[in-house]
Structures are given as C-alpha cells and as structure tokens.
Amino acid sequence: MKRILTGDRTTGKLHLGHYAGSLQNRVKLQKEYDTFIILADVQALTTHFERPELINQSIYDVAIDNLSVGLDPDNITMFLQSKISAIAELTVFYSMLVSVNSLRHNPTIKTEAKQYGYDDLSYGFLGYPVSQAADMTFCDADLVPVGEDQLPHIEQGRKIVRRFNSLYGKGKIIVKEPQALISNTPRLIGLDGNFKMGKSLGNAIYLSDTAEDVNEKVKSAITDKDRISIKDKGNPDICTVSKYHQAINHSEYENICEMCRNANIGCTACKDLLSKKINLLLAPFREKHVYYEEHKSKVRDIILEGSKKANRIGNETIENVKKAMNIYME
Ligand code: SF4
C-alpha cells in the first residue's frame, strides 16, 4: 500500500472549507492508502507563536474534527508533529540545501505573507516549506494530497530531496521523493466573500457548529448584491451561497444556478435549501464529535500511539540520513 501524508495546522477548529477542500477526500483515500495524518503544531507556530495555548487546545479540536468526519483510527496513523524528533532534525539538515532567495520567491509564501500582512518575514515562516519537506519525507510518504496553491511547496520539497540524494546518496535513494496528489476542489471562500475564513471574521461554518449556528450563518451570507427583489434575475457566479451549493450540494448546483438566473428561486429559499444540505451533512459528524469530546482520553491514545509509530519510522529514516551525511560515531 502506498503511503500518503496529509494533515492540518493546529490553529483552531476545522470548518466546511477544510471539509470540502481536503477532509472528504481524506476519508475516501484512507481505504486506498496507508494514511498518515499530521497534527502540525510546530508549523502552527509560524503564524500563532504568540498564542501557544490556542495551538495546544487546537490539537484536540483538529484531531476530533478529523475523526468525526469519518477517518477511522484503525486505518490511519495520526501523530503530533512536535513529538517527532526526526522532523526537527531533517528540517535542520534540509535547511542547508535551500537558498533564502528560492524561499523568498516561492509564490505560496508570497501570497500567504500578503494575506497575513507580513512584510518582514520570520525565519520560521519563510522556511516552512523546508519543514514541510521534512514532514513529507521522514515517513517515506509516496504521495501528498494538495490543492493547486500548495504545489510550489511540494516542488520545493522535491528539489531538496533530489539535492540531498545526489549529494549524499552515492547513487542510492536515501530519502523518498514524494509526488503531489492534486485535488481540484475549488477553495471555499468565507460566507462574507472573504478569501480567508476564521473565527475572528465570523464567516466560517465549523464542522462542530449546531444546526442553529448553521442557519444563522447561512442567513448572513453575501449574495448577488444587485438582486434587490425576487423578480430580479440573479448572478450565481458572484454569490457566496452558490459557491457553497457547488461544494456541498453538487447534484442540485446546476439547477439552482439556472433558477437563480431566471428568477425562479428567491435568495431566502436558496439559503434555506443550503442550510438543510449542510445540516444533513454535519448531523453524523456532530454525533461522533460529541462521542470523542466525551472520550478525550481515547483521542489522546490515538495521537500517542500514532506518534510512537511515526517515531519508529522517523528514527530509521534519520539513522540512514545521518549515515549518508557522515554525521555519526561508531
Ligand atoms: Fe445567490 Fe441563490 Fe440568491 Fe442566486 S438565488 S443570488 S445563487 S442566494
């Protein structure tokens, strides 16, 4: 079975955007691949270093969200990034093989720095593609599921691996070069049309939201502003509600767009329909969520067991890496 490495930064509860963009795919892939889920608490520090308590609380939130949507603890290996010493060591070794300029020119870094409003990047933020290369390779991952926007990171990681193997491998592969597994699901935007979603912006539907939360939030979603009355024809291409229908309610999406363009559906009815679909989707997740919230020790065991397994693999990788680099003593 080929291995995939995927996961989330532990910076808060996961929302519908995470589900549409990667979690639902993750649930499908767990049957075909040996699935490693990283709870990226170290990477979370790149943007949340001043809020370590949030990162710590989010470890459980993110783990429970992953388990609630259908990831089976018997099928997957879920581990905590900060518990895997091989990742930290590989990050240091790999950092010698990448130039500051190539990191500065990484388009994803540039875009994300802009989104966070950073003009003077920290060493950790600039270098997080290097630590991602360590995440991908410490466990011999064959594939890394990503959206198009993350491709530059994967490519940068692959370059580092190639450089490492050509410098130290003496014709052998010491660390495996992972491939990207592209997911073409469009990125879901916030209910207010904002590219970024978050608690402070109040524009995201969380997987753990109640039905009432969902109804209220959907009511507040931005629609086609030029559609004043129900008799006006709408433009679903500029409406956030239609984007959510596209992501969650695939079978009715085309029909809804058609009805909107011909003024055959009002925005209130369109939003009600969306709320129903979202609540139908989230209902089974909520049940599991309650279960895991009440059994946090089980979640802890899943993470600790996964981390133990990941460490076993990581320690082997790091031993080979150090030998290849001549960093060892008999
Ligand atoms: Fe948006 Fe639906 Fe209203 Fe059209 S009918 S503008 S898709 S909410």
Specify the CATH number for the domain of residue 142: 3.40.50.620
- Global pTM value: 0.92
Find the helix packing angle between 52-68 and 296-325, rounded to 10°: 110
Residues 260, 150 within the same domain: no
The pLDDT, as a whole number, for residue 64 is 98
Q: Which atom of ligand 1 is least distant from the CA of 261?
A: 4
Domain-located, residue 194? no
The pLDDT, as a whole number, for residue 51 is 92
Residues 179, 224 within the same domain: no
> Could you tell me the mean pLDDT of each successive run of 10 residues in the chain, 330 residues long?
96 93 93 97 94 94 98 97 98 96 89 83 92 97 87 91 97 95 82 82 92 96 94 96 94 97 97 98 97 98 98 98 92
Residues 178, 269 within the same domain: no
Burial 164-193 (b: 16+ CB within 10 A, else e): bbeebeeeeebbbbbebbebebeebbbbee
Mutation test residue for ligand 1: of 241, 268, 273, the one with most atoms within 8 Å of CB: 241
Euclidean distance between CA atoms 233 and 122, whole angstroms = 49
Ligand 1 contacts CB of residue 82 (under 6 A): no
* Ligand 1 atom 4: residue of nearest CA: 260
Domain-located, residue 78? yes
- Residue 281 sits in a domain whose CATH number is 1.10.240.10
Residues 63, 160 within the same domain: yes
The pLDDT, as a whole number, for residue 106 is 87
Ligand 1 contacts CB of residue 223 (under 6 A): yes
The pLDDT, as a whole number, for residue 116 is 80
Residues 10, 154 within the same domain: yes
- Between β-strands 179-183 and 143-147, what pairing exists: parallel, antiparallel or unpaired? parallel
Give 13 Cα–ligand 1 centroid separation in angstroms. Answer: 28
Mutation test residue for ligand 1: of 230, 244, 249, 270, the one with most atoms within 8 Å of CB: 270
| Segments in 69-105 forming alpha helices (H) | 85-95, 100-104
Ligand 1 contacts CB of residue 265 (under 6 A): yes
Instruction: Decide: 280 and 247 in contact? Cβ < 8 Å.
Output: no
Ligand 1 contacts CB of residue 236 (under 6 A): yes
Give 65 Cα–ligand 1 centroid separation in angstroms. Answer: 30
The pLDDT, as a whole number, for residue 330 is 77
Domain span holding position 258: 209-288
The pLDDT, as a whole number, for residue 255 is 97
Give 187 Cα–ligand 1 centroid separation in angstroms. Answer: 19
The pLDDT, as a whole number, for residue 148 is 77
Ligand 1 contacts CB of residue 191 (under 6 A): no
Give 193 Cα–ligand 1 centroid separation in angstroms. Answer: 13
Residues 13, 141 within the same domain: yes
Residues 182, 215 within the same domain: no
Residues 226, 256 within the same domain: yes
* Ligand 1 atom 8: residue of nearest CA: 267
Give 297 Cα–ligand 1 centroid separation in angstroms. Answer: 44
Domains of the chain: total: 2
Residues 29, 157 within the same domain: yes
Written in H, E and C, the secondary structure of 279-323 is HHHHHHHHHHHHHHHHCHHHHHHHHHHHHHHHHHHHHHHHHHHHH
Number of neighbouring beta carbons within 10 Å of residue 328: 10
